Structure 1
Amino acid sequence: MEIKKELNGSALQIALTGRLDAVSAPELDKVVQNDLAGITELTFDFKELVYVASAGLRVLLLAQKRMKKQGTMKLTHVNPDVKDVLEMTGFIDFLTIED
């Protein structure tokens, strides 16, 4: 998986490419743990993300919990396969998803 970060003031966009699974989730977890200080608007761009596994969902949950305390978080460009996983797991009920 590839992670691209774009910081604009207190807004951070993280674009993910590839698969968010048990192998790549720790890398994203480091970003969530280390790069969210002072961030009030977090956007995950899933345009190039083709798969998400439970380890990836865990990182998204941690990011959502943290951003709930300090700002907002949203997912954009979520493909149908990833959206299906979010629906089946109930994550779609508490994550903000925009097209």
Structure 2
Amino acid sequence: MREGCLLLVGLMEGMRAEVDLAQLVLRRLQVKGTAIRGRTLEGKRAITRRFQRHWLPELMAGRVRPIIDSTFPLERVADAHRLMASNAHFGKIILEL
């Protein structure tokens, strides 16, 4: 992949990461980070509107896809929560209704 962007929104755990800077430079990649929690309500609304306008159509068309680690039926919500608490997953944990 060339000329991509890694966007980090908030941090769940672990404030440090080892990054191969040569790969960032050679592939012309960008890394951007932000947090939502400290923003005003209007700031949060503006972010939501931009997401809906720009990224929601990309998600709906399948051009951008989230990384899904696992899917659980709602009856197994405790198992899903244990997986999340263990920090042994990579990607989203989905609960199905």
**TM-score interval for Structure 1 and Structure 2 normalised by the shorter chain:** under 0.3
Q: TM-score, normalised by structure 1?
A: 0.27
Q: Which has the higher contact order (CA 8 A, sep 6+)?
A: 1
Q: Which structure shows the higher strand fraction?
A: 1
Q: TM-score, normalised by structure 2?
A: 0.27
Bigger Cα Rg: 2
